[in-house]
Structure 1
Amino acid sequence: MVGSLSYGPWAVSALLVSIRIGMVFAMTPVLSAIPMPAVVRVLVVLGIAAAMSAALPTTSYRGQTDLASLFGAACLEVSIGVLLSLGILLAFATFSVAGRVLDIQIGFGMGQLFDPATRQSLPLLTGAMTQLAVLCFFALDAHHTLLRALAYSFEHFPLGAPWPIQQSLPVVLRHVSGMFVLGFALVAPVVTCLLLVELGLSLLARNLPQMNMFVLGMPIKVIVGLGALAVWLGAAGDYVARIFNAVFHNWEALFR
C-alpha cells in the first residue's frame, strides 16, 4: 500500500507531462517525418515524459486527483501542447511556403508527389523543402533546444494550472506574420532570378511571336530555378537558423 501511494502522484504527473509532450510531437513533423511504428513514437513520448517527471520538480502535479479534476487538467495540457506546437509547425510551414512559391514560379505546381512527413500530395519542391526542414532541425541541434524549452514550459505553465490565452494570441499572430516574411526571404534570390528569366522570355516573345514560349520557357525556368536554388541554399544557413530561432523566441514571449 505504501509503495502504491508513493507511486501514484508520479504516475499522474508523468501522464499529464506525456499529454503535453505528445501533443507537441503529434502536431509537428519532428517524429512523423522519420519512418517508425506508432508504438515506437508513443514509447518515445512516454520515455521523455517519465524522465522529465523524475528529474524536474516543476513537473509535479499539485491538483486534485479525482476523475473530473484529472480530465480538466488533461484538457489544459492538450491546449498548452497545441499552443507550443503551433510555433514549431509554423517553422516547418515556412519551408513549405518557400517551396510552394518556387513550385508556382518554376512550374512544378502541375505535378503532385506524396509527402510522408505531412501525409499529403504536394508539389516537388514543397515536399523537398519539408524534408529539408526536418534535416536542418536535427542538424542545428534544435531537438535538444526543444526538449529544454519543454522542460522550461512546466515552470511557467504548471501541470493542470489555467493559463491566460488572451495574452498568448498577440504573440501567436506576430509569429504567423513573421513566418510568412521569413518564408519568402528564404527563396527571394531564386524568385528574383526567375523573374529575370520571365522578363527575358517576355521580350523574346514580343520580338519572335511565332515561337512557343511555353515549350521553350519551361525547361529554361527549371534549369535556372534549380541551379539558383542549389547555389543559394549553400549560403542560406543564417536564414534557416533564424527560422528555428524564431520558434524559441516566440516561446520566450509566451513564458513572460
Structure 2
Amino acid sequence: MAEKRVGTSGWLYPPWRGTFYPKGLVRRRELEYLSRRVNTVEINGSFYSLQRPERYRGWFEQTPEDFVFAVKGGRFITHLKRLRDCEVPLANFFASGVLALGEKLGPMLWQLPPRLEFDPDRLTEFFGLLPRNTKEAAKLARRHDGKLKGEPHTEAGRNRPVRHALEVRHPSFDTDECRKLLRDNGIALVVADSAGTWPQLEAVTSDLMYVRLHGDEELYASGYPKSALKKWAAKVEHWAGKQHQDVFVYFDNDIKVKAPGDAMTLAELVGTGPEGVR
C-alpha cells in the first residue's frame, strides 16, 4: 500500500512554546512531544548549516520506531553553488550525519531559490551526483573535505533507497521538458502551496508526491480552514489511492503556530498518524 505521512517543517519554534508545546516542556523534549502527534517531520536546520552526527542520532532516539524524517538539503548547494560543482558539498552534506537516521531516513528535499530558472544541463549534472541508495550515499560521503563540524558519519547501514524531491520557485520550470527530465531521473516535483507567491505544480514525476503547505492565504503565517484541508485530503487520497504514490505532506505555516494543528487535522482526515491521535 502507498505510504501517507503528514507532519511539519521543523519543530524548534519559540512561538510554539506554551501554545502547542505545554508550558514547562524542556526544549530537548519538543521533538519527542511532536513525534507522538504526527508520523513525520522535515528537518530544516540542515538547510542552514551542516549538522553533526550526534544530532541526527539524538533525533533518531527521540522518535517512535515507525517515525520518518525528510531532510532538507543545504542552501550552500542550492542557493550559493546553485547546483554547480557540488560533488564535495554533497559529500560533506551526507557525511554530516544524515545516514545516522538509519531506517528513519525518508526523502531528501532540494529547495531552489526563486530566481533560479530552469536549466536542463544544470539539473542533469546535479541529478547525476545524487545517491539513490544509502550505499551510494555512504560512498559519496567518504569524499568529504575538512569543513565538517564533527566526526564524519559514512556508514550506510542496511542498504535502502534514497529518494529526492525538487521544490522549484521560478515559472520557467512549468514545462513538459522539465517534467520529462524529472521523470527520467526519478525526482519528485514538490507540490508547493505558497498563497500564490510561487507556482503550484502538481505533476507526478516519480513514485513520491512531496507536498509543502506554506500558508493558505498568507505565506508562512495563515492556517488552513477545514474546507481547505478537506481539499488537500482529497488530493492525498487520490495520489495514494488511484495513483499509488507515496505521499509526504509538510506544513510550513509556523509563524502563528498553525502548522502542528493543521498537520494533525489533515492526518486525521487521511487516516494516518500515530496511534491515539487519529
TM range (shorter): under 0.3
Q: Which has the larger radius of gyration?
A: 1
Report which of the two has the higher share of helix.
Answer: 1
